[in-house]
Amino acid sequence: MKRRVVVTGVGLVTPLGTGVEKSWNNICSGVSGIDHITRFDTSDYGVKIAAEVKDFQTEDFFDKKAGKKLDLFVQYGVAAARMAFDDSGFQVTEENCGRVGVITGCGMGGLPTIEKYHKVALDRGPKKVTPFFIPMVIPNMPSGHISMDIGSKGPNLSLSTACAAGTHAVGEAYRHIQYGMCDMVVSGGAEAVICGLGVAGFSSMKALSSRNDDPQAASRPFDKDRDGFVMSEGAGMMVLEEYEHAVARGAKIYAEVCGYGLSSDAYHIAAPPEDGEGGVRAMRSALEDAGLAPENIDYVNAHGTSTPLNDKCETGALKTVFGDHAYKLAVSSTKSMTGHMLGAAGGIESVFLALSVHGQIAPPTINHNEPSPECDLDYVPNVARKMDIRAAISNSFGFGGTNAVVVMKKYES
């Protein structure tokens, strides 16, 4: 017998604000968090825009000494997890700590710290590299520090599956609870790689938008004039909990997680197959796991990166999975406002999905001014929509051909 899994806590650090209320209000209001890069001199760069987190204060979450030992992606992850755990109202004790786990996703780890200390080693010698360098940059440090922060002693895992990492982490957390390995898991994704090396690398792949003259209009998923994604950063964490466990302690419940699917394209290191076949299998697997028919889904938080190929392929995959019902779906890409947070995207979008189901509102796809001929679904253009959302899915597709889908439905006792 599979156990039911619900969302009982959420936390966000995004370019739209630190904290769930600020981020979610801006998402529903169609506010963009994209602007010109301030982290480094972009004079020699063709891409000069990104979605930076601008209101995050390290000292709000860590003392000065501790903060200096943590790369920004770890700080974001721990801060978002702390918000989610506080929101859940749960207390870890010696009796229950072994039943509480942490599973996080991260695409690239501490790239800014790698960049910084590579220069230190070249300019000042290897002895000037801090002993905290390795613990600062390895991708599993959010999960490790979150576990230490809350005192959980159950599974402690980190997944690195590029832009699908956050969704894979949420899905695996769901599985751990569903099959009885945990009663509660803190899960999501964290990323912070807006640095010279990171922007240079993605620019070389021709993956980024170069709409430098109008940053807030640069991310335009499914629009005819889309020209690439916008790099972003942040963290999204949630507390997943076994249903009976949550009810017994009177927890607030945002939504029920009811399905998870994953697949591989086995096609290309960066591009999806033209027919979106890998995404099709992941969505179908997630629906089967949830015990839902395609027509039971009302809303899709799309991967929707704003790249010409991804948006076309995802639209085609949705049509294959949902048939005629695809034209009745509300489909939106919150990346139009947040930019693409890489390994954190799925964690943040899973939080957005839970809030959509809880609040019965579909966020907009902003900058959707002229529909692309091959993207002809209802993308909730420019204005959020109050609507009946019985069940919804979130898609994440990553480099290496890895795909992840989670399904959530409106909570019913």
Cα–Cα dist 49/209, whole Å = 8
Which of these is catalytic: 145, 340, 358, 368? 340
Please, what's the b/e burial string for 79-109 (b: 16 or more CB within 10 A of its CB; e: otherwise)? bbbbbbbebbebebeeebeebbbbbbbbbbb
Of 354, 359, 364, nearest to 409 by C-alpha is: 354
Query: Which amino acid belongs to residue 188?
Result: G
Cβ(237)–Cβ(50) under 8 Å? no
Which of these is catalytic: 28, 106, 163, 182? 163
- The per-residue DSSP string of 104-155 comes to EE-SS-SHHHHHHHHHHHHHH-GGGS-TTHHHHHSTTHHHHHHHHHHT--S-
Residue 340 designated active-site? yes
158: which 2 tokens? 């980190």
Cα–Cα dist 284/260, whole Å = 10
For helices 308-322 and 277-290, angle between their N-to-C axes, nearest 10 degrees = 40
Cα–Cα dist 172/182, whole Å = 11
* Helix, strand, coil abundance in the chain, percent, nearest 5: 40, 20, 40
Check residue 228 and report its DSSP letter: -
Check residue 374 and report its DSSP letter: T
Cα–Cα dist 309/221, whole Å = 11
Which of these is catalytic: 303, 313, 368, 375? 303
Residue with tokens 């990104």: 50
Residue 375 designated active-site? no
Cα–Cα dist 375/197, whole Å = 33
Residue 258 designated active-site? no
Please give the positions annotated as active site: 163, 303, 340
